[in-house]
């Protein structure tokens, strides 16, 4: 059956104390909205509708960055969850299938949970299915009042009787229904309440009045955690990292000090890789098998093939591609460059906009001078090249296969295959001048005192 996801992302999130819409605050390197949209990707939803409001332009741009064919609509003004769902009505006109309502600030709902929710609705021929969770401290959550597999009503805590307050099955707000039925029920919701808003939870009573049943299934309470403050964002980050670290170790990755390693939402690490303490993965990092990342490295937007060794204290920036068996040493930065198989960039070097051939060695303190103040230029280094320490390679420049660069050289022209290049001034020694200069400087310093 066809499936549509409606993701509600119109709120500002006043408790975030930010000019940025709540759903654009980042969790594991990606906007909260993208985490919610990942469910659409996993479920292969036929249609994705994002309901924007505060900061709509930015929210819509983020939605399209994740899913280019996502439909964006606006809820103006913001008058509650049922009102938000109705903002998607035109986008789902003529759609024949189920619709699931998700929230852009609730990042942990699993695709398996949504599948179970849809299956429960269809199996019981229910008009509506809600997602609930059990908690020992239900507090202000709405209670799901059940009779067998039927959801009788949803009671807000402030309106609940003592018996209803004792119920620990609580509402997450996630809803599934036939798309046309959902819109019909949402259109019948009124706003006769203190806030004057249209609440989606009212559709249970409306459905019952029409002879239609509702159901609810339970998921782990951790899935339903929403983010509405900076403290909540920090808790969500901690929960994400704990789960991601456990998943990595279960998949055969060694984390020497797991609590110090931070993973992104899309980090991919191959089996038998070893990650040292205090390593940070930004978005877009993929590691092959048997890779070692030594302590205090920062990786983002890069690929590292099997058997490579990185760090310590290395930084790989977007576009870095490290081939099989290559070595990137301490305090090395690599950006928009490919380092070939078995090549080594030992320490204290910058490699930007470059291609380094297999087996080449880049000495300490080497810099590829890639920027002239207006444009970036590439450095091409062939296979089995030796670059001496302290060399400046001024791009655009090419070093041929097997070339050698003398330490301390500044290279501005092409070096042919197997050639040895020197690019430094002749050394001049002036006997006794150092002693005379020290005496002069010492005397000058004394006069200033």
Q: Which residues are identified as catalytic?
A: 347
408 within 8 A of 422, measured Cβ to Cβ: no
Q: Which two tokens stand for residue 267?
A: 């980090």
Mutual angle of helices 32-43 and 111-123, in 10-degree steps: 50
Distance CA(72)–CA(398), nearest Å, equals 48
- How far, CA to CA in Å, does 109 sit from each of 19, 35, 87, 114, 286? 26, 9, 23, 8, 24
Q: Which two tokens stand for residue 426?
A: 């002749």
Distance CA(421)–CA(157), nearest Å, equals 79
Query: Before 131, cis peptide (omega within 30)?
Result: no
Residue by residue, DSSP assigns 309-343 as EE-SS-EE-TT-EE-TT-EEEET-EEES-EE-TT-
Distance CA(406)–CA(420), nearest Å, equals 7
Distance CA(174)–CA(99), nearest Å, equals 11
Helices (H), 200-250: 203-209, 230-250
Q: Which two tokens stand for residue 253?
A: 């990755």
Dihedral sign (CA 63, 66, 67, 68): positive
Q: Which two tokens stand for residue 423?
A: 């690019």
Strands 128-134 and 169-178: what pairing? antiparallel
Question: Is residue 130 packed enough to be buried (19+ CB in 10 Å), middle (13-18) or exposed (0-12)?
Answer: buried
- How far, CA to CA in Å, does 353 sit from each of 74, 118, 197, 227, 341? 42, 49, 55, 39, 17
Distance CA(169)–CA(132), nearest Å, equals 6
DSSP state of 16: G
Distance CA(378)–CA(321), nearest Å, equals 15
81 within 8 A of 8, measured Cβ to Cβ: yes
């Amino acid at each position: 059956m066809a499936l549509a996801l409606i993701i509600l992302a119109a709120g500002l999130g006043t408790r975030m104390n930010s000019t940025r819409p709540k759903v654009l605050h980042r969790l594991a390197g990606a906007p909260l909205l993208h985490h919610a949209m990942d469910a659409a990707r996993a479920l292969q939803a036929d249609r994705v509708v994002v309901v924007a409001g505060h900061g709509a332009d930015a929210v819509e741009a983020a939605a399209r960055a994740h899913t280019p064919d996502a439909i964006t609509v606006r809820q103006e003004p913001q008058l509650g969850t049922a009102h938000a769902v109705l903002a998607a009505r035109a986008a789902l006109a003529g759609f024949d299938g189920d619709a699931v309502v998700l929230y852009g600030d609730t990042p942990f709902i699993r695709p398996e949970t949504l599948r179970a929710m849809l299956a429960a609705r269809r199996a019981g021929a229910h008009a509506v299915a809600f997602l609930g969770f059990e908690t020992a401290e239900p507090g202000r959550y709405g209670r799901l009042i059940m009779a067998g597999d039927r959801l009788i009503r949803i009671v807000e805590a402030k309106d609940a009787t003592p018996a209803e307050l004792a119920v620990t099955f609580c509402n997450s707000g996630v809803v599934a229904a036939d798309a046309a039925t959902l819109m019909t029920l949402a259109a019948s919701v009124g706003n006769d309440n203190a806030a004057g808003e249209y609440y989606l939870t009212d559709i249970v009573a409306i459905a019952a009045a029409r002879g239609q049943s509702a159901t609810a299934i339970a998921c782990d309470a951790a899935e339903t955690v929403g983010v509405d403050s900076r403290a909540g964002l920090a808790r969500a980050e901690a929960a994400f990292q704990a789960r991601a670290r456990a998943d990595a170790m279960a998949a055969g990755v060694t984390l020497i000090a797991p609590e110090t390693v931070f993973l992104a939402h899309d980090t991919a690490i191959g089996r038998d890789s070893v990650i040292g303490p205090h390593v940070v993965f930004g978005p877009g990092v993929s590691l092959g098998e048997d890779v070692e990342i030594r302590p205090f490295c920062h990786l983002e937007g890069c690929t590292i093939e099997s058997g490579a060794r990185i760090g310590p204290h290395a930084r790989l920036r977007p576009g870095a591609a490290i081939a099989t068996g290559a070595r990137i040493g301490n305090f090395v930065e690599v950006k928009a460059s490919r380092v070939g198989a078995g090549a080594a960039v030992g320490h204290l070097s910058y490699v930007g906009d470059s291609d380094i051939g297999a087996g080449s060695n880049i000495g300490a303190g080497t810099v590829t001078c890639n920027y002239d103040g207006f444009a970036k230029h590439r450095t091409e280094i062939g296979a089995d090249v030796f670059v001496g320490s302290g060399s400046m390679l001024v791009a655009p420049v090419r070093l041929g296969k097997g070339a050698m660069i003398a330490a301390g050289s500044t290279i501005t022209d092409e070096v042919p295959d197997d050639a040895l290049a020197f690019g430094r001034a002749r050394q001049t020694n002036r006997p006794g001048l150092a002693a005379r200069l020290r005496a002069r400087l010492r005397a000058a310093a004394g006069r200033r005192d």
